């Protein structure tokens, strides 16, 4: 598995990436919603009750496993250049 925190770091391997999931699970100020960015499934991340996401996360899947994660936490400006939609 690979993790790319865009503009910050790139990690590979389950042991290195596990703290990433722990951090998101503990976060209380963010709300998460299913969405699409440029037609690709995405997790939209909102700050509190904001109407526009603060950033988004893309994941590449192979069968039932996540193979790669691209998290735009440190590149929020990308939302100004992409088409996104909240689903559900």
- pLDDT tens digits for range 73-87: 999 999 999 999 999
Q: In whole angstroms, what is the distance from residue 88 CA to residue 79 CA? A: 20
Residue 35 has pLDDT above 90, yes or no: yes
Count how many domains the chain has: 1
Give yes or no for a contact between 57 and 42, defined as CB atoms under 8 angstroms apart: yes
In 10 A of CB 63, how many CB atoms? 5
Backbone phi, psi, residue 80, to 5°: -75, -15
pLDDT in tens, 18-31: 889 888 888 899 99
Residue 88 has pLDDT above 90, yes or no: no
pTM (2 d.p.)? 0.90
Q: State CA 15 to chain mean position distance.
A: 19
State which residues form the domain around 26. 2-86
């Amino acid at each position: 598995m690979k993790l790319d925190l865009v503009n910050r770091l790139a990690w590979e391997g389950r042991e290195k990436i596990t703290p990433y999931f722990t951090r998101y699970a503990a976060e209380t100020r963010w709300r998460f919603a299913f969405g699409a960015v440029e037609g690709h499934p995405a997790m939209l991340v909102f700050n509190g009750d904001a109407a526009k996401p603060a950033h988004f996360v893309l994941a590449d899947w192979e069968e039932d496993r996540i193979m790669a994660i691209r998290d735009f936490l440190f590149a929020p400006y990308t939302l100004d250049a992409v088409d996104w939609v909240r689903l559900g």
